Amino acid sequence: MGEHYFSADPTSAEVRHPVTISAWGRQLALQTSSGVFAAGRLDAGTAVLFREAWPPARPGTFLDLGCGYGVIACALASAVPQAAVWAVDVNERALRLCRDNAEALGVGPRVTVARPDEVPAGVEFDEIWSNPPIRVGKQALHDLLLHWLGRLAPAGRALLVVGKNLGADSLQRWLSTQGFQCERLASAKGFRVLEVRRP
């Protein structure tokens, strides 16, 4: 079986490449590498998320779930200067890239890069932003979302971007059956942007 971006420790050679992405009117110069999600580019789903959803209106504690090389985490920290951002992934190479990218942009002190088990149990999130790893499989995805959505602050929200052909509409229905308020904020280029809130 081939290696996936959600492998914990990719064995392919780490060859870094520069990429400049646009997020909420800012140009962010980042580095990517093989063995991580969307190596060498800004993936289409995250681009839709940036176009269709505004950044947080006020400071808070935010989570980039499945951070990859840190696109969303770095964009949040750059757009909201007093924000505390957690960037979580299982891929060690992605975590290194995210940490290095945050440092290069000058937001490193406000971006905490961590494996899932390194996030203290008491931390709650005002907002969760994610292009979730749909390809891990339905049950693993459901377990992932239930765990992290359960850590939203009472008035918090999550913004998820999911491909329509990858089950965005069925995921929206499933989240509703789990007691979450789930609304479609936007639909563009084959993706849905879902806003999820706790009951």
Q: How far is CA 17 from the centre of its chain?
A: 20
For 132-190, the DSSP string reads --GGG-HHHHHHHHHHHHTTEEEEEEEEEEEEGGGTHHHHHHHHHHTT-EEEEEEEETT
In this structure, are residues 10 and 34 in contact, taking their beta carbons and an 8 Å threshold? Answer: yes
Sheet with strand 191-197: strands edge to edge: 111-114, 84-88, 61-65, 125-130, 152-163, 191-197, 181-188
Question: For 50-74, how does the pLDDT look when each residue is reduced to its tens digit (9 = 90+)?
Answer: 999 999 999 999 999 999 999 999 9
Q: What is the pLDDT of residue 14?
A: 80
Q: Position 111: which residue type?
A: V
Question: For 72-130, how does the pLDDT look when each residue is reduced to its tens digit (9 = 90+)?
Answer: 999 999 999 999 999 999 999 999 999 999 999 999 999 999 999 999 999 999 999 99
Measure the CA–CA gap between 60 and 23, rounded to whole angstroms: 19
Q: How far is CA 141 from the centre of its chain?
A: 14
Domain boundaries, given as residue ranges, for the chain: 16-197
* 1 pLDDT higher than 60: no
Q: Please, which residues have CB within 8 angstroms of residue 155's CB and are 6 or more apart in sequence?
A: 126
In this structure, are residues 138 and 184 in contact, taking their beta carbons and an 8 Å threshold? Answer: no
Question: For 120-165, how does the pLDDT look when each residue is reduced to its tens digit (9 = 90+)?
Answer: 999 999 999 999 999 889 999 999 999 999 999 999 999 999 999 9
Q: Which CATH class is domain 16-197?
A: alpha beta
Binning pLDDT at 50, 70 and 90, where does residue 5 land? very low
Cα distances (Å, whole numbers) of residue 53 to 1, 38, 103, 183, 194: 36, 20, 25, 13, 10
Answer with the residue of higher pLDDT: 50 or 41. Answer: 50
Question: For 8-36, how does the pLDDT look when each residue is reduced to its tens digit (9 = 90+)?
Answer: 455 567 889 999 999 999 999 999 998 88
Q: What is the pLDDT of residue 114?
A: 98
